[in-house]
């Protein structure tokens, strides 16, 4: 994801995304390792997680953090420091949505093998990526 797009997420949820921390504790300093096309999915997921995280933090006194955001096997992977069934369900819903959303442009896509990697892409971007 381009830095200017990442920064929208970091600015909105600064305590969740420690992009300036130590990579020995979290891979987030490497940034969001997925395409711009999934920005809206990640944003909606974070909005949906807000009340769940707030409840979790009030009940436990522990701080919630997103440890990593990346693409793996054509699906969005969002790893977090703490889990609940509700948090995990929202993350699973976002993973499913991303699996049929083009990681490049955000349009309808499908999982395809592109240059030996499984990616979620639309037909247009599958052809472009194959030509790189």
pLDDT at position 117 is 87
Q: Which domain holds residue 51?
A: 3-99
Q: Is residue 104 part of a domain?
A: no
Residue 130 has pLDDT above 90, yes or no: no
Determine, yes or no, domain membership for 107: no
Helices in 13-79 by DSSP H: which ranges?
A: 39-60
- CA distance from start to end of the chain: 18
Is the confidence at residue 33, as pLDDT, over 90? Answer: yes
Confirm whether 110 is domain-assigned. no
- How many folded domains does the chain comprise? 1
Task: Provide the CB-side half-sphere exposure for 131 (13 A, CA).
Answer: 6
Task: Judge whether 108 lies within some domain.
Answer: no
Quickly state the pLDDT bin for 24 (edges 50, 70, 90): confident
Which H or E run includes 75? strand 75-80
Within-domain flag for 130: no
pLDDT at 3: 95
User: How does pLDDT run across 45-69, given as a tens digit for each residue?
Assistant: 999 999 999 999 999 999 999 999 9
pTM for this predicted structure = 0.93
The DSSP bridge partners found for residue 119 are 112
> Does some domain include residue 62?
yes
Does position 2 have pLDDT exceeding 90, yes or no?
Answer: yes
In a domain? residue 43: yes
pLDDT at 131 over 80: no
Residue 39 lies in a domain: yes
Query: In the prediction, which pLDDT does 56 show?
Result: 94
Q: How far apart, in whole angstroms, are the C-alpha atoms of residue 92 and residue 74?
A: 14
């Amino acid at each position: 994801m381009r830095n200017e797009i990442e920064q929208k997420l970091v600015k909105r949820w600064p305590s969740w995304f420690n992009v300036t921390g130590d990579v020995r504790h979290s891979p987030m300093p490497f940034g969001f390792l997925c395409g711009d096309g999934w920005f809206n999915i990640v944003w909606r997921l974070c909005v949906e997680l807000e009340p769940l995280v707030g409840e979790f933090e009030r009940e436990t006194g522990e701080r919630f953090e997103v440890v990593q955001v990346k693409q793996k096997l054509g699906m969005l992977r969002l790893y977090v420091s703490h889990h609940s069934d509700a948090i995990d369900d929202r993350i699973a819903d976002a993973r499913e949505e991303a699996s049929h959303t083009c990681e490049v442009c955000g349009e309808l896509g499908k999982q395809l093998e592109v240059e030996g990697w499984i990616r979620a892409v639309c037909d247009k971007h599958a052809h472009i990526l194959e030509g790189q």
